[in-house]
Structure 1
Amino acid sequence: MKKILGIALILLAFMACKNDKQLNPEIEAISVAISIDRFDRQFANTTPAKLPDLKSKYPYLFSKQYSDEFWEAKLSDTLQKELEREVDIAFKDSDQIEEDLKVLYKHIQYYFPETSVPKVITIITEVREKVVLTDTLLLIGLDNYLGKDHYFYQDIQRYKAKNFRKEQIDVDVASAFAKAKVTRPQTNTFLAQMIYEGKQLYLMEKLLSQKPIHEVFSYTPEEYRFAQENEVNIWEYFVSNKNVYSTDRKLLSRFIDPAPFSKFQLSFDNDTPGRIGRYIGYKIVASYMNENDIALKTMLLQDAETIFNNAKYKP
């Protein structure tokens, strides 16, 4: 009986979590058509004779600084063929990418109805560029999402390679969109930089409402849990060390810029997740939005001082 009761409680907890992630009916009702153009496969299957046709169809994917001979040689290049093979294995179809992007753009059009859905094209970038987003075009470098332990990434630092996963495609697209919507701060205080990053993360969370929150931060579950459990200590450290209003640029490399861990210059640094200042910025913005009746777009335009002074942030 106890065993049955335990299973029932687990099921109830699971259902509760599932309900928390239900899509807003107004967002779900938005019609979005996403169709992925697999340029990566078209290039892999073309021949030197057919290359001019492909260049004519996708002129923006063939840089004019490279000659026809360069592109012809690339068709049979060993590394290129290996990348094409591995991408084809990992992405036999693009159904999941389409579904994830469809949900993302439903959210984008809910909050930013003036935004159009871009043409989506998958490419191979030799593990250089993950996504490129413009008003009309979204390029996705599939060779950047083969899985964190793929042998292509063996020489890439682990804190970067851990997010070379399919689950991060829509996160990277949302991040590119958020960067375009959040202007850089006019002041260069550490607080302004944290809130600048926090605005992006808050917007991303809204756009990725179906995504686990740790994925939005590009954290592992353990890294996100560390940030949650140590929020008070982190904020007290920033306050006691007079970091909040400091203009010391080194604080960015210690707590904001991509890194394997945050640099408190204490013995436990290696146990911390990188970019912890972004988490604090997000919590300040979230507190501000909870305390004030402010539209999302309005918040994105407000300065850091206004947000912080009205956030009532108390970790």
Structure 2
Amino acid sequence: MNRREFLVTAAAAGLAGCATSGEKKCCAKAGACGGKMLFGVCRPLKDAALLKKHGYDFFETGVAGILKPTCSEEEWKKQKELILNAPIPLRSCNGFIPGTFRITGPKADFAPALDYAEKALRRAEEVGVKTIVFGSGGARNVPGDICGDRAQRPDTEKGLLQYTEFCRLLCKRVEDLKTVSIVIEPLRPNESNIINYVWQGMQVVRDVNSPRLEQLADIYHMISGRECARSIVEAGCHLKHCHIACKATRKFPGTRPDDAEIFKPYFDALKQIGYTGGVSCECGWPTEEKEFEKALDTALALMKSLA
């Protein structure tokens, strides 16, 4: 399939599917509540003032560096003040489970990962974070078994069951929380061997059936994996966060002149479900300051034109 065929197929098929009746009701409610999409950038706390200057609503950054799940309560108290006094809200965090933890495969060990994740989620709720992005390819990718001197193919079916059980146990631990959600991030096949598509993430969301577990749509990964926008409609009110980057370069939206055309079916789907969550630019940016600021304006203008 060439680039033009992909665009036509995505546009034609993107909104063809129907959500379930429950999702339709939820989406109708979301639309009736009004509101608008919120736009942010995956950048550190030190860039929050610059993002505010250029009109962004929030910033997103890594769990380990901002929520510091391994640091003491005294250290956290100082960090918490910095976050709460940031020029714009910390609405989302990514990089949830470090690759040093194993949650799938024969050496999976849930206990330390659950402790780390629970601490991160509790601290996230304290500072108003709405979504914790569960991509974490290093922790979730299913390793192959070693049989003698030969590596065997990963048992991804078993790995998915382990991943689902981890999510279930974690949600049980934090069922008392009220506002923060874990959002499952599908990763393209060359980055993860389980949960490559939004519909696969939604299977886990439905199996676990907890208000603490919801879905993310990464438009870059969706386009890379040729997943059409219909998956967004089918996720409906379970969709709580989005990522975006230019398909060809993984740089900021607006890098290429056809970015708007490529992204349009996905934003149309978001509008169809009344989406009012965050859309974060998770992408590469120019290193030179003036060019970076110009790129921030370009990206925001493009996203707002589609929202």
Structure having the higher strand fraction is 2
Mark the structure with the bigger radius of gyration. 1
Q: Same fold per TM (> 0.5)? A: no
Structure having the higher helix fraction is 1
